[in-house]
Amino acid sequence: MRQILIIGSGKSTSYLIKYLLDHAATESLFVTVADIHIENAERLINNHPSGSIIQLDIFNDASRHEIIKASDIVISMLPAHLHINIAKDCLKLNKNMITASYVSPEMQALDDKVKAKGLIFMNEIGVDPGLDHMSAMKVLDNICEKGGEIDSFESYTGGLIAPESDNNPWHYKFTWNPKNVVMAGQGGTAKYLKEGRFKYLPYNQIFKRAKPLNIPNVGPFEVYANRDSLKYQKAYQLKNIKTLYRGTIRHLGFCQAWDVFVSLGMTDDSYIMANSENLSHRSFLNAFLPYHPIDTVEIKLQKLLKIEASHNVFEKLEALDLFNKNKYSRLSKATPAQILQYILMDSWALSEQDKDMVIMYHKFGYICEGEKHEIVSTMKVIGQDSTYTAMAKTVGLPIAIATLYILNKKIRTSGVQIPILPEIYTPILAELETNGIVFIEKQ
């Protein structure tokens, strides 16, 4: 019996756990889920004979070490900054490891030691990053095999609410870690290439510079720049590319309204607000506005933003109950970001039957035999409900499939890596198609 350890059982684990349990009998698997909070894991394992649950404090070194030692492969579904302790244990105990997170400098620093032991530390194999890498490399490699030269590559992904469950003016609900949504864009200056020129966007400009994107047969959207696009120039071997841009998809109008929070400082997670447990939603907002002895919160905000009360930004803020003096978060010793997250969760939580939607859209420009060509690749997945979401499906299934391929030694390349090699993306994309995750390519 081959032992699979999943550490963390959050929003993105439902399909991951289901897939592995569904394959437990034929693949001789036993799945252990470890978390400090075990309620969600209990619901997902549901007394399956090939599954178990362990309550684990990941900061307890001895307990963490013991459960990793007993496993054959470890999947870390923890927040990204917590992967490194798991990785060091896996390296010490000779265990392969998988995460859906971006490769951190600390993780990359383990590469030589991981290779020396012949281990696989697979990262960035969720949806974005993950599916974006695999689907893009499939097209990029095909173009290069035909003798084409890549001129431009744009890649966009969005975790959104499905149209049938879209009932708020933001056209958005939480389908993954709410903290990550609040902190979006704070991972450093966004960097990209546009027509051969390097472009840099600091956090305070990212949402101001959102641009429109129309996806045929899907709809009009807007996108904002996503982290460091430039680091994928080398990874994707795009030596002479002139445009390289990765972005996040949102519905029209979202970015302008979200920029209110960014501009005011309400997404800051670096300090504690005084008397935070006694701040109403209205007084929380007012704390970031200029003082005036007479003007109301609404008037001060209108003056600061230079908009009228009828503007759709106000509609979005009102929908969050931000002007309500009778609603409180009651969070003690809280940062602005923590209070904002609490307020958002009250309005953006998925109801039980809500369906979400994940969209991915790539655009490739290339030159072949002196002629310019363009390929677009589109994926759309609709969730089943608030547990088996499109986000959980597009994150969890690539991880689950990769887990089996590593266990079965169909993926052999060692080191700290991302899924950009044909031996990884070809079989995984093929199996994802049988599970309804399909990319439609159009020349």
C-alpha–C-alpha distance, residues 388 and 54, integer Å = 22
Average pLDDT, the chain: 95
Residue 287: pLDDT band by 50, 70, 90 thresholds?
very high
Over residues 423-433, the mean pLDDT reads: 96
Instruction: Give the other-Cβ count within 10 Å of 370's Cβ.
Output: 5
pLDDT digits (tens, 9 = 90+) for 45-83: 999 999 999 999 999 999 999 999 999 999 999 988 999
Cβ 100 vs Cβ 77: under 8 Å:
yes
Residue 217: pLDDT band by 50, 70, 90 thresholds?
confident
Q: What is the pLDDT of residue 259?
A: 95
Residues 6+ away with beta carbon under 8 Å from 401: 19, 427, 428, 431, 432
Q: Tell me the DSSP string of 195-221.
A: TTEEEEE-HHHHTTT-EEEEETTTEEE
| CATH architecture for residues 2-127+390-442 | 3-Layer(aba) Sandwich (3.40)
pTM for the model: 0.92
Position 366 pLDDT exceeds 90? yes
pLDDT digits (tens, 9 = 90+) for 122-134: 999 999 999 999 9
C-alpha–C-alpha distance, residues 79 and 39, integer Å = 18
Over residues 390-415, the mean pLDDT reads: 97
397 versus 226: the higher-pLDDT residue is 397
Q: What Cα–Cα distance (Å) separates residue 205 from each residue in 186, 255, 436?
A: 11, 11, 37
Q: What is the pLDDT of residue 65?
A: 94
Q: What is the pLDDT of residue 186?
A: 87
Q: What is the pLDDT of residue 310?
A: 76
Over residues 293-322, the mean pLDDT reads: 90
pLDDT digits (tens, 9 = 90+) for 138-197: 999 999 999 999 999 999 999 999 999 999 999 999 988 899 899 988 878 999 999 999
Cβ 318 vs Cβ 281: under 8 Å:
no
Local structure of residue 255 (DSSP, 8 states): H
Q: What is the pLDDT of residue 172?
A: 95
Give the residues across from 439 on adjacent strands. none
Domain residue limits, the chain: 2-127+390-442, 268-348
C-alpha–C-alpha distance, residues 263 and 56, integer Å = 39
Please give the backbone phi and psi of residue 35, each rounded to the nearest 5 degrees, phi first. Answer: -160, 155
Position 309 pLDDT exceeds 80? no
Residue ranges in 265-311 assigned as alpha helix (H): 281-286, 297-305
C-alpha–C-alpha distance, residues 341 and 183, integer Å = 10
Q: Respond yes or no on whether the N-terminal peptide bond of residue 129 is cis (omega within 30° of 0).
A: yes
Q: What is the pLDDT of residue 227?
A: 86
Over residues 83-99, the mean pLDDT reads: 97
Q: Tell me the DSSP string of 28-91.
A: TEEEEEEESS-HHHHHHHTT-TTEEEEE--TT-HHHHHHHHHT-SEEEE-S-GGGHHHHHHHHH
206 — alpha (psi -120 to 50), left (phi > 0) or beta?
Answer: alpha
Q: What is the pLDDT of residue 37?
A: 92
